[in-house]
Amino acid sequence: MAIIGEITHTTTYRYAKPVTFGTHRAMFLPRRGASTRLLRWSASTSLPSKVHWITDARSNAVTVMDFSEPGSELTFTFKVRGIYFGVKGLETFPLEPRAEEVPVQYTPDEWTDLAG
């Protein structure tokens, strides 16, 4: 059975005085795969910015945001709507006990993969 879902994620940063922002990168979109399909996605910021997407070496969709002016507050809003078709044989991939607690404790190899 397919499931349609929507996610809105908003993060706000506040500063005591205006700061200049460099390029920001966010990995919010799921990796393309047979079990999901994205219907719509967007990224917006509270300050003027140029937003575009690239694909990294591991096929992750990366949102790149460049800012043109300083500010004392910056808000990012990401929205995604997609369909999840499920995964056959998911029960053969049990969740590791260490993943049942938040924050997850990553292994050194996982940190290497996440660092990119």
**And the tokens for 25?**
């990168």
109 membership: H or E segment, kind and range: helix 108-115
Query: What are 66-112's pLDDT values in tens digits?
Result: 999 999 999 999 999 989 887 766 666 677 888 888 888 888 988 88
Condensed to tens digits (0 to 9), the pLDDT of residues 53-63 reads: 998 887 788 99
CA trace torsion 113, 21, 14, 63 (10° rounding): -40
In the chain, the N- to C-terminal Cα span, in Å, equals 34
* pTM of the predicted model as reported, rounded to 2 decimal places: 0.67
